[in-house]
Structure 1
Amino acid sequence: MLQINGDNVKSHLLLILCAITLSTAELHKDTQTKKFPDGFLFGASTSAYQIEGAWNVDGKSENIWDHITHKIPCFLSNCDTGDVAANSYYLYKRDVEMMRELGLDFYRFSISWTRILPTSFPDKINEAGKNYYNNLINEMLKYNITPMVTLYHGDLPQKLQQIGGWTNPEVSKWFSDYARVAFELFGDRVKHWFTLNEPKETCNQDYATGFRDLSGIADYLCAKNVLLAHGKAYEVYNNEFRASQNGNVGIVVSVKWYEPETEKEIDAAEDVAIFEWGQFIHPIFSETGDFPKKMKERIAKKSAEQGFPSSRLPNFSPEEVELVRGSADFFGLNHYSTCIAYRNESINGLYESPSYHDDMNVITYTPNDWKSTESASTNVSWGFYKVLTKIRNDYGNPPIYITENGFNSEIGGILDDNRMSYLKSYLNAMLDAISEGSDIRLYSIWSLMDNFEWGTGYKSKYGLYEVNYTSGKFERVPRKSAYFYRNVLKTRVLDINFEPDMSVPICEEN
């Protein structure tokens, strides 16, 4: 973590911590239950590479995570891979049984591009892959659990990566072709589609994309192409499937809250929000479309100073602006945490130039006092409230689907009081935003079960269900938080003082 300097830092941190303490105190003082709106939906989320396993069976081809985790020497700690993950390719019926135990309204999962289209293109549809997703969807519908599907969740076909991946302008066409196949195969039963999960992470996590030495160039090319891919997939659904399938389509953006360290740092906090998530929200949800004006001006100015003949941020044509603008029926939002943002003389020379972070020109950090000794997660729910309020105020109050929110424990075990406390706090903050007019339609916890968590492998544990990775059987055991979440779904109220009775098996609760 970066250390901050300045005579007044301690006083500012004390003010921040006092605000958090008061917020937490108010939460625990609240002995009233709070009712969720009628029709509000609850679910849980996962993604294909993180749970399915079966990485090279039944016709599935290699994706970028298959490729990178098999490199020698090992790329991740413990040489973790998603080769088997939670073995959901074979245990999908147990996964649906867990959904029933919890009483989920819906389940959000992703389709593996390479499991459906092993060549990366629609010239060949893999029957085994199609059957797997049909079986999963039909098993859910048998018990009135609504399937919600993400088309892309981090697992680009390796064949496409080798020809530029998300930096190749043709990728938007490749993706829309893939989307069309998914709509054709599953759209008679799937009515909620998420085109891409977390475009910023797709473009900036260089351990998967290989863009490490091209920051400030490749990540912006990727950003434009991801947005065009989303826009084209939305257009495909509108033109070819909406009338007959009557579903909806959106995108999922990861949104942190950035709190200014002092009142003087409001611009710094706004700048980091513009770069981190505004570059993907503004083109879709603003009235004007296109990348945010401040971002365009900043990068153009720096590019000129660095000797580039034009801005490193690619332009959208007027036609592309219109393709992307308004191309979402809802706003999919992933939120986990809040950071402090500031900018002072210590930033000079801190970041390599040119680069994404040099363009942004802001330092962010998480105060040590916010961190749990058992987890990398922080319980700063007022940041969640501020995110939801800003989206309502800045983007015309779009329908919001909260597609991921959850707590990372690095200890494991089934007595996860920290996760339960986190959920109470964040659900409470969400209800506060709803009470003030935010149009929030559903909430999905990450995650249904422990899974492969990308760069941290199996060290991070987000699951309502603990997965036994050592027995070879991948047993799923409900944690205390699963009992809490089950009660919320059953009663449709948030009771801050509720304590689960784990003596009764969750499958026997009425």
Structure 2
Amino acid sequence: MFNENFLWGASTAANQVEGGWNEDGKGISVIDVQAKGMNSPREETDGVKKDRYYSSHKAADFYHHYKKDIAMFAEMGMKAYRMSIAWTRIYPTGLEEVPNEAGLQFYDHIFDELLKYGIEPIVTISHYESPFVLSKQDGWANRDMIHHYMKYCQTLFDRYQNKVKYWMTFNEINCALVPFGIMTACGIYSGIFDKKNTENLRFQALHHQFVASAMVCEYAHKNYPQFQIGCMIAGMMNYPLTCHPNDVLLTQQTNQMKNMFCGDVMVRGYYPHYARRYLKDHDIKIKVADNDEQILKAGTVDFYAFSYYMTNCCGQAKDAEHTSANLVDGLKNPYLEVSEYGWQIDPIGLRYFMNEVYDRYQIPLMIVENGLGCTDQLIDGKVHDDYRIQYLKEHIKALSQVIEDGVEVIGYMPWSAIDLIALSTGNIDKRYGFIYVDVDNEGHGSYKRIKKDSYYWYQKVIASNGKIVDEEG
């Protein structure tokens, strides 16, 4: 069912894989000040402190291993690599008027290496990479951020216009509405958490991102018609916990605001009716400039990219059991198995979610994150991750059904190409990659790359264009 141009690949993000946090003129990003936590997985510090350990500072050290890593991607057969650009490599504080040439050259090298092997770059422009300096000026809650972002995007487009076709403006933009997203998605320094981490503030920051994304889309469509610009949504579909009408209505409302709201604005170009009702009912007042509505309408995206890991349940029962999820929690579904980290495994939910989205928008879809985080064991130089193979196999089977349903799908890029620092834990021992990186949570190790069993399995999937997922064993 997969066409010959289907983009089989895998994903990473700069702040989770690159390292080289202060090399060649790079500035400090909001992730760079996330120290190894004392009371939680991560704790934000006011700048980089010498007595704290920051796992993202070296991460998987892709910055110094990218040639060998990309060669391994090519050997696996990858046709696409979804990655991000670190904003502070290009504009170290975000305030500069002239970009950092060394940072631009680094990504020239990355793209040249990918294209040498025929691997299509799929680039996220902002993947939780806001400059720390701008975060202390209220990040995306400050409308000035739109100007800084546009300058950054125009620099990227002009520099890489002949190397990159697919761009996504913001990673998991709907996570801006999650309290945890105040630092990551909204780019606001958490030192002002207590006073400013309000729902009103997060909606304001999100509105500015909507406007910035639309301006970028319109600019790209006028100046670089070869580009395809996409949104990127965290797929967090929910089921009713029971068939009680209150649970069903709550689930509909939750899915509207968590899953569909951002897509509705970025694909359709306006705030939907239910979002206006939500803002009114919650006394949320967003400052909207006179021409914002026209900007949103004029700058809609070309494709819909998303992450998908699990589903949750919604219900009003106060004693219902909760379970972990991607940046949020939800109610436990008694019919689903859970991962080592408590994330519910639901391949059928992928088919359900994609049909809902495609019925709504009728534009191409792209899966840019889907994977299983586990504590992999390196035994005698090998990693036998049959559990990851099983997870991916069932989701690819579901994806084949989605395509047979008539949904237009561009590509599938699981998380992740190589082990990296997990956002949810701030550690590397929650591993997602097809390639094992020999390093522990304290940064100790050889950083040697080791192909897992899933690497060889996915290599066969790509070579067969998805056919072997139906094979047993």
The whole-number CA distance in structure 2 between the counterparts of 1:37 and 1:343 is: 44
Matched, 1:64 2:36: no
Higher mean Cα deviation, 212-221 or 92-101? 212-221
The whole-number CA distance in structure 2 between the counterparts of 1:130 and 1:499 is: 46
Matched, 1:322 2:294: yes
The whole-number CA distance in structure 2 between the counterparts of 1:341 and 1:73 is: 29
Structure 2 vs 1, CA of residues 381 and 83 (structure 1 numbering), >3 Å: closer, same or farther? same
- Preserved contact between residue 339 and residue 372 of structure 2 (Cα < 8 Å): no
Matched, 1:337 2:319: no
Structure 2 vs 1, CA of residues 434 and 55 (structure 1 numbering), >3 Å: closer, same or farther? same
The equivalent position to 1:430 in structure 2, one of 385, 396, 399, is 399
Amino acid at match of 1:418: Y
**CA deviation after TM superposition for structure 1 residue 366, in Å:** 2.8
Secondary structure of the equivalent of 1:69?
strand
Could you tell me which residue of structure 2 aligns to residue 239 of structure 1? Answer: 222
Q: Which runs of 5+ in 2 are unaligned?
A: 44-51, 321-327
- Preserved contact between residue 343 and residue 363 of structure 1 (Cα < 8 Å): no
Counterparts of 1:4-403 in structure 2 under 5 Å?
Answer: 35-69=1-35, 76=42, 79-204=53-178, 205-206=181-182, 208=184, 209=188, 210=190, 212-213=193-194, 214-242=197-225, 246-263=226-243, 264=245, 265-286=247-268, 289-303=269-283, 312-314=284-286, 316=288, 319-325=291-297, 327-344=300-317, 364-367=330-333, 370-372=336-338, 374-395=340-361, 397-403=362-368
The whole-number CA distance in structure 1 between the counterparts of 2:294 and 2:280 is: 22
- Preserved contact between residue 121 and residue 178 of structure 1 (Cα < 8 Å): no
Amino acid at match of 2:373: N
The whole-number CA distance in structure 2 between the counterparts of 1:160 and 1:219 is: 16
TM-score by length of 2: 0.86
Structure 2 vs 1, CA of residues 225 and 447 (structure 1 numbering), >3 Å: closer, same or farther? same
Higher mean Cα deviation, 471-480 or 176-185? 471-480
Structure 2 vs 1, CA of residues 327 and 120 (structure 1 numbering), >3 Å: closer, same or farther? same
Matched, 1:451 2:423: no
TM-score by length of 1: 0.80
Amino acid at match of 2:229: V
Structure 2 vs 1, CA of residues 377 and 73 (structure 1 numbering), >3 Å: closer, same or farther? closer
Amino acid at match of 2:42: L
Larger Rg: 1
Q: Which runs of 5+ in 1 are unaligned?
A: 1-34, 304-311, 348-361, 501-510
Post-superposition Cα deviations, 1:236-262, rounded to whole Å, max 9, x if no partner, equal: 2123332xxx12111111112211112
Amino acid at match of 1:181: T
The whole-number CA distance in structure 2 between the counterparts of 1:342 and 1:239 is: 46
- Identity, % of aligned positions: 25
The whole-number CA distance in structure 2 between the counterparts of 1:462 and 1:171 is: 32
- Preserved contact between residue 274 and residue 292 of structure 1 (Cα < 8 Å): no
Secondary structure of the equivalent of 1:61?
coil
Post-superposition Cα deviations, 1:33-88, rounded to whole Å, max 9, x if no partner, equal: xx422321111111111011011111111111112328998862895520100101
RMSD: 2.5
**CA deviation after TM superposition for structure 1 residue 476, in Å:** 1.4
Secondary structure of the equivalent of 1:453?
coil
Post-superposition Cα deviations, 1:303-345, rounded to whole Å, max 9, x if no partner, equal: 2xxxxxxxx1426567323322451110011111100111257
- Preserved contact between residue 296 and residue 313 of structure 1 (Cα < 8 Å): no
- Preserved contact between residue 176 and residue 236 of structure 1 (Cα < 8 Å): no
- Preserved contact between residue 397 and residue 470 of structure 2 (Cα < 8 Å): no
Could you tell me which residue of structure 2 aligns to residue 478 of structure 1? Answer: 451
- Preserved contact between residue 402 and residue 442 of structure 1 (Cα < 8 Å): yes
Structure 2 vs 1, CA of residues 363 and 76 (structure 1 numbering), >3 Å: closer, same or farther? closer
Amino acid at match of 1:379: I
**CA deviation after TM superposition for structure 1 residue 227, in Å:** 0.9
Structure with bigger helix share is 1
Secondary structure of the equivalent of 1:495?
helix
